Amino acid sequence: MAITIGLVTAEIYRIFIQRGITIKMPNGVPDVVSKSFSALLPGFTTFVLWALVLKGLEAAGVAGGLNGLLGAIVGTPLKLIAGTLPGMILCVIVNSFFWFCGVNGGQVLNAFVDPVWLQFTTENQEAVAAGQTLQHIITLPFKDLFVFIGGGGATIGLAICLFLFSKSRANKTLGKLAIIPSIFNINTAILFTFPTVLNPIMLIPFIATPTINALITYVSMAVGLVPYTTGVILPWTMPPIIGGFLATGASWRGALLQVVLILVSVAIYYPFFKIADKRNLEKEKATDGGK
């Protein structure tokens, strides 16, 4: 909502200034003073507009104003479908798309879906304590430890590609810096330095990798190849293999599944990484005079 309000407000200001709808001061008035007066009309219009929107939402019974409206539009459907495989895939795609646009997808979605997944995690935990059958495949550890291995976009495969296969000097350096944080699901350097954010080459693997991770993990647990997560709540920074082992009740199959997901991530990212790495290498050669 902050981004939306900022864009609309800036557009209102632009329209007023470019069309000359401002308070004009005499020629002798200093330029600094004149500009401050020119902002009064668009500023007042913006203030009135958002005040009317807020009052309109209050009159319509929308609690929480604009954020409440966003919650109703985005959050309600997500809550209804968060426990299903299609719902998880939708959340993964939306999360990845937000990250691709430079917006923290987790911060956008977590307020709506994490409480649902946390409830499922708690119910699995209670079932284990009571000796009952686990009911939920999709839980918070399912998302944190299996779907988004390496962080948003499941970029641990890209980090491995950077570390092992880079030809570009810049990418080699980035690979050395990013590989250890990626093991702890921290991928800020890759997102904004490689980058994956707003990089058309990386859009397909950035969305496809966590989506395929979700599918593989769900099917593996549904058919009994891997145990359900037992309700153990682990930090999202838990390294793979250890995280999979602990989350599935100390099962080696949970750890093995994470190894498989990492290999899948490498396989998906590799061809797209090679294209980006080749372009970087060509730029570096051009900068170095062809050497």
How confident is the model over 158-199, as pLDDT tens digits?
A: 999 999 999 999 999 999 999 999 999 999 989 998 889 999
Residue 209 located in a structural domain:
yes
Q: Which helix (H) or strand (E) holds 53?
A: helix 40-59
Is 247 found in the same domain as 121? yes
Residue of 183, 167, 184, 166 whose CA lies nearest to 175: 166
55 and 124 share one domain: no
Do 155 and 49 sit in the same domain of this protein?
Answer: no
The total number of structural domains in the chain stands at 2
Is the model's pLDDT at 291 over the cut of 70?
A: no
The pLDDT tens digits of the residues spanning 41-50 come to 888 889 999 8
Q: Are residues 138 and 28 both part of a single domain?
A: no
Measured between alpha carbons, how far is 125 from 216 in angstroms, rounded to an integer? 23
Q: How far is it, in rounded angstroms, from Cα 235 to Cα 145?
A: 9
What value does the mean pLDDT of the chain take?
A: 88
Q: Are both 125 and 238 inside the same structural domain?
A: yes
Position 65 scores a pLDDT of 77
> Is 67 contained in some domain?
no
pLDDT at site 78: 66
DSSP structure string for 62-128: -TTHHHHHHIIIIIHHHHHHTTSHHHHHHHHHHHHHHHHTTS-HHHHHHHHHHHHHHHHHHHHHHHH
Distance from C-alpha of 248 to C-alpha of 207, rounded to nearest angstrom: 25
- 139 and 268 housed in the same domain: yes
Q: Is the pLDDT of residue 28 over 80?
A: no
Residue 251 has pLDDT above 90, yes or no: yes
Instruction: State the residue for tokens 């909502």.
Output: 1
- CA dist., res. 118 & res. 141, Å (int): 9
| pLDDT above 80 for 123 | yes
Could you tell me which of 141, 169, 163 has the C-alpha nearest to residue 237?
141
Q: Would you state the pLDDT for residue 185?
A: 94
Whole-angstrom distance, CA of residue 15 vs CA of residue 219: 53
92-96, 97-101, 110-114, 216-220: least confident range:
110-114
Give the mean pLDDT of 207-228: 96
Predicted confidence (pLDDT) at residue 79 exceeds the cutoff of 70:
no
Contact of 1 with 70, CB cutoff 8 Å: yes
Residues 6+ apart with CB under 8 A from 138: 82, 83, 84, 85, 87, 88, 117, 120, 218
Quickly state the pLDDT bin for 274 (edges 50, 70, 90): very high
- Is the predicted pLDDT of residue 111 greater than 80, yes or no? no
In a domain, 69, yes or no: no
164 located within any domain: yes
Q: What domain range includes position 144? A: 74-289
Q: For 132-167, what is each residue's pLDDT tens digit?
A: 999 899 999 999 999 999 999 999 999 999 999 999
Q: What is the pLDDT of residue 205?
A: 95
